[in-house]
Chains A and B, each alone.
Chain A
Amino acid sequence: MATPVVTGTAAGGDARGRARHDRAAKSGPLSRHWYAWAMVLPVVVVTLVLVGYPLVRGVALSLTDATEANMGRTIGVNVIPSTYEFIGLKNYTGALASDEFRGRFIWTIIWTICCVGLHYLLGLGLAMMLNRPMRFRAIYRVFLVLPWAVPSFVSIFIWRYLLNGEFGVINGMLRDVGLPAIGWLDDPTMAKISVIAINVWLGVPFMMLAILGGLQAIPGELYEAAEMDGASAFQRFRHITLPGLRPVSSTVVLLGTIWTFNQFAVIWLATQGGPGGETNILVTEAYRLAFQGIRDYAKSASWGILILIILSVMAVVYRRALRRHGEVW
């Protein structure tokens, strides 16, 4: 529940422990490290004020029953005090026991795995195609990067129009070849497929370019040597390409997972979570709780913190896995 807070204090203790250790060495840690500390100070201060303070308030809020109705506010000259109360962990136990949370959670996991998996596979495939000497390579590259070049909110609007049930061009084309139109954004299952498709379309170029950069960093001699030793194309891919891509892959997959898990814009602008809230992932649902209907600030805050815990656990597991392969920071 208080993962980041715990991380903070644990890390603080860690630093203090090491500082004590350093003092046993020759010069005091302050005189040796003060410039490093001074340099990180701006970010630490900004983070504590802008992230730490709201986070603490968020945690506090999640332990209450605060809604729009009992939140203190100022109307004209009248100051209405807050009347919400502390209710302990009820929001958390309530969320974890509810079908609502479980449903959103499962869909969020499916969404994240499908999106990141497809981003990576398609990005890898296209990068390997682009990484060969051939004609028109530069042109293909520009074409394939375009979905990333257009601002994402613009692209999402375009897709909403393309997928429009009545007037969308995709259904128009289906009708032209005699197939029935599909309710891309109106049917829960199709809407889920559609939002994944939109997000994949948006995200592949970035993966492709990142992997292409990784591929170009693999020395060509490795392939030549392997070919000389009679390694097949698949063996070269398995034993040179994939290990060579590891540093890039591990970074982009971690970033991609976090971004996708927290992807607000695609869902919100494409379907507003609909139909019937079926495409809401955890983040958009938490947002909806806080800003639509009767604003349930406390419930929304508790969902937000649950999301952060899930992501933190994921990052820790992921980092452990990387460390086992000898990559650390």
Chain B
Amino acid sequence: MRNRRPIGKSIALHAGLTVASIIALFPIAWLLLTSLKSRDAWQSATVKWFDNPNIDNFTFVLGHTKFLRWLLNTVIVAGATTVIGVLLAATTGYAVSRFRFPGYRSIMWMLLITQMFPVAILIVPLYNLMSALGLVNTFPALITCYLTTAVPFCAWMLKGYFDTIPTTIDEAGRVDGLSPFGTFWRLALPLARPGLAVAGFYAFITAWAEVAYSTAFMTGDESYTLAVGMQTFVSQFRAEWGYMTAAAVLIAIPAAIVFLLVQRNLVTGLTSGATKS
């Protein structure tokens, strides 16, 4: 593979990647450009890259809509889901990675099957349950619903991560007189910190982009999450793409920066269980 590529092949390679990059970037670039136009500039049938750039859309979204409130709601719900999900899942991930015990296979099946649950199957019973408990339109209801997917998913991912930690470390701990719990708490858990972070990150982005539960459960615009609230910018009766794009930019830029910083760990976290036989 070290020998030099023929020039034609090289051009084809760069051309292919350039086209793919343009397709990947264009929607995001257009989003940014539209958000910088004036409020009604989106209603233009001709393609204009720049049109009197200003930040009115941003000031309106921040000052006159519930955007910041929705952002706070989303962070509260997604954050609570993440913390609870990872805490509950950690010991299970470790146990199914290290021990072969009666019930092991059923636990693995349970973790897989629950990830296949379509939102449609649980949402009606959960909705009825929450309305019986008077919890519709509250954060705990939403967090509970998100935990149904976050917990099995985190356990699954953490198993993959624990699989990559050599068992010799555990054995050394056991020889030194640690109990299985001691080994988990003092050795495995500290070593698994990157894995916990990745599982948590996934739980967070899954929860904060969730649409079905939040659309059905949250009814007042004080309690909307971002994915619900932003739908109101472009309802059937009123389309405000100027505000929509400004809000989108405000979310996308910080999210993308954080994401790009951690993304290298994300994929290895998800497939590490697979690459290690």
Contacts and interface: CB of A to CB of B under 8 A. Distances in A.
Given A47-B110, A265-B211, A312-B116, A300 B101 contact: no
A271 to B, nearest CB: 12
Interface stretch (B41-49, B50-58, B164-172, B191-199): B41-49
Given A46-B88, A217-B275, A248-B274, A126 B95 contact: no
B131 A58 contact: no
A108 B71 CA distance: 33
Nearest to A264: B212
Contacts of B21: 140, 143-144
A129 B17 contact: yes
Contacts of A262: 116-119
B120 A159 contact: no
Given A43-B151, A146-B25, A301-B124, 8 more contacts: A43-B107, A50-B147, A175-B45, A262-B118, A264-B212, A287-B212, A291-B216, A311-B118
A278 B17 CA distance: 34
Nearest to B110: A47
A61 B120 CA distance: 13
B243 to A, nearest CB: 11
A286 B259 contact: no
A224 to B, nearest CB: 8
Interface residues of B, number: 104
A304 B211 contact: no
Q: Please classify the interface of chain B as helix (H, G, I), strand (E, B), loop, or mixed, using the class held by over half of its residues.
A: helix
Interface residues of A, number: 115
Interface of A: 4, 7-8, 11-12, 14-16, 18-19, 22, 29, 33, 35-40, 42-44, 46-47, 50-51, 53-55, 57-58, 61, 71, 73, 125-126, 129-130, 132-134, 136, 140, 142-155, 157-162, 164, 166-167, 169, 172-173, 175-176, 201, 205-206, 209-210, 212-214, 217, 220, 223-224, 247-248, 250-252, 255, 258, 261-262, 264-265, 268-269, 282-283, 286-287, 290-291, 297, 300-301, 303-305, 307-308, 311-312, 315, 327, 329
A213 B267 contact: yes
Contacts of B215: 268, 291
